[in-house]
Structure 1
Amino acid sequence: MTLLQTKTHRLAWPIMATALVVSWSSGFVGIRYASENADVMLVLFWRTLMSGLILLPFALLIGARISGRALIQQMAFGVAMMFLYLGGFALAIGQRVPTGLVALISDLVPLAIAALSQPVLGHRLTRRQWIGTSLGVTGVLIVSLDSLTLGTAPAWAYLLTVASMMVLALATVVQKRMGTINMPIHQSLCIQCLTAAILFAACAEWNGGLMPPLDARFGFGTAWLVLFSTFFCYGTYYASLRIYTASQVSSVIYLSPPVTMLWGWSMFGEPLSTAMFLGLAVTLFGVWFTSSRSAASTDFELSQQHIG
């Protein structure tokens, strides 16, 4: 391997991790714009519908023929990773669960994936990785400390946020276990988006109809959600899962709350706090500690032993 190839290989993960966390946190920006004058379920319907329709011709014309079994599998993951995950959090917010608490619970996905990786994938996490994961959780708690309130939502709404988070974590490790992650991304994402769109359509129709408001905010927010928060984010997420372990990929999601606050500061003038910078520093260290070369190498060796 040449020196240039070695440097490129070493830079691959930092570049993909940065792209993932920026695009993952960008969803809040699109939702804020698009849902200004529209129901959240309506926003999610148009997001998934437009994403699926744009990908449809590519899914049909490029790549291997999709078997009936693969279609059913991806539809199931569409229900889990799009409808239940995104819709669950949207419904919880609609029931007045504080958004700070929802964001905190959603960003505990990496901890759930780490816990599920051993029984489902056989990936035994090292002590170093558990320490890094704990640091990531600590950073998220610091960042979210000021916004944590219980609110007045019904008890089931709080349980719904936890259930939605666990659905995404379980679906992630099951995809890795079944090997369905190897389907071309444009095909799997197309199937998942269109499946979720059908279910979100039913929810939006129940809440008032499918006609979107004809204003610039909804248009910009939907375009942002489709191009950046769906295509770029999910594409980077699935591409990363093909190359790296589930625990390593999910560890960078801990950076979502502080990066989301940076989005809010730069685009909406929202204030920053000392707690945010402290939490960001702790989270960055935890992510580095979890996915540094020695931890990644150990995780890779364990996964290879499991495969063998």
Structure 2
Amino acid sequence: MTTTPALQRTWLPGAAAAFTLVCWASAFVAIRHLGHEVTPGALTIGRLGIASVVLGLMVFRRPRTWPRGGEWVLLVACGVMWFGIYNLALNEAERRIDAGTAAMLIQIGPLLVALLAAVFLDERLTRWLVIGIAIGFAGVAIIALANDQSGDRDLWGVLLTVLAAITYGIGVVCQKPLTRRLHPFEITFLACVMGLLTASPFTGEFVDLVQHGSTESWLWILYLGVFPTALAFSTWAFALTHMDAGRLAITTFLVPVIAIALAAVLLGETPPALAYVGGLLCVVGVLVSRRRTRVREPLVDVPEEQPV
């Protein structure tokens, strides 16, 4: 029995989204595992370097549509913020806090995307969005309190993760207009290269990793570069072009759940008990921000990816 094109269009975007979520969740665990041996800068260069090679092979095997004019500005901003600073901040954060806590904190990303879209994409700033942002950041405060029992080290981890979420929000808003004309592989490849250039000041740390890094560390870095980055970013962009952004964004709530389960099995660690309350508030904040008022108001039509 052959599969009809209509059926393919039905299940392929969902499968792409599911693959992406599992890859992103596992990335939190991989980063946490590598944090005690690999520096944030070296990890960023290794991960993005491998991803750039894989994506380059995908891009240059097919006809290409290169950015033009203002699209280059958006690509540079997306790459520097989302691929460069995001990775550097998150890698450093996960040396201080567990993978599950980091995954929960990143849930404020959709709130930041909605807020930035209201400012820069002329989306309406609704009452529910403001309430949702307040609830979400209350959740961040609770997570910070839960992680501050060991002193400033864990608090800095929380703040760095929030910084990562902010740069992610900026990157998503910059990426959305690019999807109208450019192929997902092209966007991801060029943004990845921009992120790699952003991390270039840490080349010395990467050279040290090449000389002294263990085989196990390199296998983890290879995994991060190929799956959560090169493939998962591209499959999410593919899903975004075939599914409603709002419905797709809701699925990212599964990432912390998967990350916590994987961390418990592979690393033997779980977030502090109070952090679960904060994580729940972050999710509630996003859900509240998506409510419609009685006067019909458009939802923020931007993708709430949660890449790591």
Give how far 1:204 is off: 4.2
Whether 1:88 and 2:53 are equivalent positions in the alignment is no
How far apart, in 2, do the equivalents of 1:155 and 1:146 lie? 9
- What SS class does the counterpart of residue 211 from structure 1 fall into? helix
TM-score (normalizing by structure 2): 0.70
Q: 1:91 to 1:80 in 2, by over 3 A?
A: same
Alignment of 1:158-307 (within 5 A): 161-176=161-176, 178-180=177-179, 182-205=181-204, 209=208, 211=210, 213-244=212-243, 246-270=245-269
TM-score (normalizing by structure 1): 0.70
Aligned length: 297
How far apart, in 1, do the equivalents of 2:29 and 2:11 lie? 28
Does the aligned pair in 1 maintain the 2:85–2:167 contact within 8 Å?
yes
User: Could you say which residue in structure 2 is the equivalent of 1:55?
Assistant: 55
Q: 1:42 to 1:112 in 2, by over 3 A?
A: same
* Residue identity in the other structure for 2:118: Q
How far apart, in 2, do the equivalents of 1:274 and 1:91 lie? 23
Q: 1:103 to 1:175 in 2, by over 3 A?
A: same
How far apart, in 2, do the equivalents of 1:84 and 1:28 lie? 16
* Residue identity in the other structure for 1:42: A
Does the aligned pair in 2 maintain the 1:20–1:233 contact within 8 Å?
yes
How far apart, in 2, do the equivalents of 1:235 and 1:221 lie? 20
Give how far 1:189 is off: 1.6
- What SS class does the counterpart of residue 167 from structure 1 fall into? helix
Q: 1:151 to 1:102 in 2, by over 3 A?
A: farther
User: Could you say which residue in structure 2 is the equivalent of 1:31?
Assistant: 31
Does the aligned pair in 2 maintain the 1:132–1:287 contact within 8 Å?
yes
Identity in percent: 20
Does the aligned pair in 2 maintain the 1:110–1:247 contact within 8 Å?
no
- What SS class does the counterpart of residue 37 from structure 1 fall into? coil
How far apart, in 1, do the equivalents of 2:278 and 2:164 lie? 24
Q: 1:92 to 1:136 in 2, by over 3 A?
A: closer
Q: 1:116 to 1:183 in 2, by over 3 A?
A: same
User: Could you say which residue in structure 2 is the equivalent of 1:45?
Assistant: 45
Does the aligned pair in 1 maintain the 2:179–2:241 contact within 8 Å?
no
Q: 1:58 to 1:7 in 2, by over 3 A?
A: closer
* Residue identity in the other structure for 2:214: D
* Residue identity in the other structure for 2:267: F
* Residue identity in the other structure for 1:184: H
Give how far 1:182 is off: 4.0
How far apart, in 2, do the equivalents of 1:10 and 1:286 lie? 30
How far apart, in 2, do the equivalents of 1:174 and 1:118 lie? 13
Give how far 1:229 is off: 1.0
User: Could you say which residue in structure 2 is the equivalent of 1:306?
Assistant: none
Give how far 1:43 is off: 1.4
- What SS class does the counterpart of residue 62 from structure 1 fall into? coil
Give how far 1:39 is off: 1.5
Does the aligned pair in 1 maintain the 2:81–2:170 contact within 8 Å?
no
* Residue identity in the other structure for 1:203: F
How far apart, in 1, do the equivalents of 2:40 and 2:12 lie? 35
Q: Deviations over 1:52-94 (max 9, x none)?
A: 0122233234132424545554233211111111112334556
Q: Deviations over 1:101-128 (max 9, x none)?
A: 6554433101112223334334448888
The range that moved more, 30-39 or 254-263, is 30-39
How far apart, in 1, do the equivalents of 2:299 and 2:262 lie? 34
In structure 1, list runs of 5 or more residues that go unmatched: 304-308
The range that moved more, 116-125 or 274-283, is 274-283
Q: 1:65 to 1:205 in 2, by over 3 A?
A: same
Give how far 1:173 is off: 1.9
User: Could you say which residue in structure 2 is the equivalent of 1:79?
Assistant: 80
Alignment of 1:77-116 (within 5 A): 77-92=78-93, 102-116=102-116
Does the aligned pair in 2 maintain the 1:100–1:147 contact within 8 Å?
no
How far apart, in 1, do the equivalents of 2:192 and 2:31 lie? 17
Give how far 1:42 is off: 1.0
